[in-house]
Amino acid sequence: MTVLLTGGYLVLQEQYCGLVLATTARFHTRVETQKIAASNGRDDDVSQSIDHSHALPTHLEPVLTSSTCAADHVQSQTSDRNAYVEETLVATMNGLLGLDQAVLVEHLRAMQQQQERLHVLLQADNDFYSQVHRLQAANQCLCREHLRALPPFLPPSMEQQADGSLVAAKTGMGSSAALITSLVAALMAFFLPTLDLARPGPDLYLIHNMAQLCHCFVQRKIGSGFDVSTACFGSQRYTRFPRSLLDGFSHEDALLPSKIAACVSDHERWACDVRVQPFRLPTGLRLLMGDISAGSATVSLVRQVLNWQQEQPEESKRLMDALHGFNQRVAAGLDALDHALQADPALHEKRVAAADVTSDQWLEINATIGALLLKTREAFVQVRSSLRNMGAQAGVPIEPPSQTDLLDATMALPGVLAAGVPGAGGFDAVFVLVLDASVLPRVEAFWQSYASSASSRICPLLCDVAVTNLGTGLVRE
């Protein structure tokens, strides 16, 4: 799960960057071979059964022939198809074919001889999907205590749309990117077991590039890529890759193995080692995410902002440059705070003390840490103001009034450094940065009382910031 702290809308362009946090919520993918229980009537084929158990009940059988390694799709009559799983599988297998045809064909022939198929199990931590309806159905309050008591890897609640279709109730934290990245990494590690996923380097870059390509292919559009990048590399300062890299991979006939291999192997153009830079929260600070469960169409929000940029190029650039400046101040403030805490461990006691008082008393606790906290907090306030201004100009609710009221009230609590809407904003979620873990129950209790008075729903999530070094977004379990 990823949280775009700063850089919403700006990370769509190469001249800007954003701060992204990787959280402890993960997709888990297991790839293994299983004996084929009965003949499928195609003795020359190697079939792959995928149990997409975390979401829609899905049982897919993309069939790779050993002679052509082309993929057909056979839908199980007992389940629904899921394009994210199905098309990621096909794109990755074609990419592997282009990267190392001999190794892939050898694997498939060995499976055929052993009468085996490839079984892929995907499971998502519960934070990716809203648990509000599940808790309310059990007459339980929306709190982390009850979330912890839920069984792991629950299927998502489904919500009916105006057109009658059913969609998963998501928390808006990058579930599609996490799913695709996890699946791509597991498949590539299975067929190319010598890949090193533990540190930045050509192997991890290859998986990242393949996941970005698959995400583009499945969505039929080229996004900013910050969510896939964070799933691969962990928390970071992110600058997007050139859009031209994926120009040919957003349509249905884009799966030529040689072209996929050439694209994902072009490390010089992807420049992951340059675009992705380390970032971490200062020691002791904690993250709390809130599921508002009101729902936002992120694609629609982004499309309207892009239309505004085209219609008002000068004004939009002025506002975006100003927002970028405030984003940079947030990054500088967090860096300065982290450096101060690392240089003087005694300041951690002052940080903990500041967590018990409101921001107007931080300077009284300690002049050094108080000044750093206030400077960073003010930069966050300016970011929020700029996003609201951008939303007003573009006619989109980047920070809707209901969110503004909640965020302002949350920031008034003792120990809260900042609060905001992540990513593209809207009604999906809010984030809160607090000075110490002791502040989390305070925010949670406030949200419960606030939701009752405001007739809204706020469900705190269980995830926290993943404490990792750059390059360890993927974990081989």
Sheet containing 416-420: give its strands across. Answer: 416-420, 429-434, 286-291, 459-460
Amino acid at 189: A
Indicate whether 231 and 313 sit together in one domain: no
**pLDDT, average across residues 249-272:** 92
Q: Are residues 237 and 122 in the same domain?
A: yes
Pair 130, 240 in one domain: yes
Query: Which band of pLDDT confidence, cut at 50, 70 and 90, is reported for residue 80?
Result: low
Q: CA torsion, points 173, 220, 256, 87, in degrees to nearest 10?
A: 50
Let me know whether 427 and 341 are in one domain. Answer: yes
The highest-confidence range among 195-204, 439-448, 449-458, by mean pLDDT, is 439-448
289 pairs with which residues across the strands? 431
Write out the two tokens for 138.
Answer: 């059990």
Which amino acid is present at 229?
Answer: S
Range scoring the smallest mean pLDDT among 145-159, 181-195, 392-406, 448-462 = 448-462
Confidence of residue 294 (pLDDT cuts 50, 70, 90): low
Same domain, 243 and 311: no
> Which residue is listed with tokens 């790779």?
64
> How does strand 59-65 pair with strand 45-51?
antiparallel
φ/ψ of 5, rounded to 5, equals -70, -50
134 neighbors 450 (Cβ within 8 angstroms)? no
Q: What percent of the chain has pLDDT over 70?
A: 88
Whether 82 is in a domain gets the answer yes
Residue 121 sits in the same domain as residue 218: yes
Q: Between residues 310 and 79, which one has the greater pLDDT?
A: 310
Whether residues 18 and 164 share a domain: the answer is yes
Q: Compute CA 36 distance to the chain's CA centroid, rounded to the nearest angstrom.
A: 35
- Asked whether residue 236 falls in the same domain as residue 352, the answer is no
**Intra-chain end-to-end CA distance of the chain, in Å:** 17
Q: What are the tens digits of pLDDT across the range 29-75?
A: 999 998 887 544 444 333 333 343 322 223 333 333 323 333 333 33
**Structure-model confidence comparison of residues 46 and 218, the more confident one:** 218
Report yes or no on 133 lying in a domain: yes
pLDDT at 64: 38
**Model pLDDT for residues 340-373, shown as the tens digit of each residue:** 999 999 999 999 999 999 999 999 999 999 999 9
Residues 306 and 402 in one domain: yes
| Predicted TM-score (pTM) of this structure | 0.90
Residue 470 lies in a domain: no
Phi/psi at 313 (5° precision): -60, -40
CATH number of the structural domain spanning residue 100: 3.30.230.10
Which CATH number is 368's domain given?
Answer: 3.30.70.890
Is residue 326 one of the residues assigned to a domain? yes
The confidence score (pLDDT) of residue 205 equals 97
Tokens linked to 288 = 């709390």
Decide if pLDDT at 202 tops 90: yes
Least confident span in 20-34, 154-168, 352-366: 154-168
Q: Which of 277, 310, 341 is the last residue of a domain?
A: 277
Report the pLDDT averaged over residues 109-121: 90
Domain-embedded: residue 224 = yes
267 and 306 part of one domain: no
Give the per-residue pLDDT at 46.
Answer: 34
Q: Is residue 475 part of a domain?
A: no
Least trusted range by pLDDT, from 253-257, 292-296, 304-308: 292-296
Which has the closest alpha carbon to 443: 86, 144, 80? Answer: 144
Domain count, the chain: 2
Average pLDDT over residues 94-102: 93
Report yes or no on 262 lying in a domain: yes
Q: Is the same domain home to 105 and 8?
A: yes
Lowest-pLDDT range of 116-130, 162-176, 310-324: 162-176
Helix (H, G, I), strand (E, B) or coil at 454: helix
CA distances from 301 to 201, 224, 424 (A): 35, 14, 7
Task: Report the DSSP pairing between strands 116-124 and 18-22.
Answer: unpaired
Q: What is the pLDDT of residue 440?
A: 98
Mean local confidence (pLDDT), 325-350: 97
In degrees and rounded to multiples of 5, residue 285 shows phi and psi of -70, 145
- Indicate whether 306 and 271 sit together in one domain: no
State which residues form the domain around 65.
2-277
Confirm whether 283 is domain-assigned.
no
Report the mean per-residue pLDDT for the chain.
Answer: 88
Q: Which of 445, 443, 449, 448 is nearest to 464 (CA)?
A: 443
Question: Which residues neighbour 431 within 8 Å (Cβ) at sequence distance 6 or greater?
Answer: 3, 5, 287, 288, 289, 290, 419, 420, 421, 422
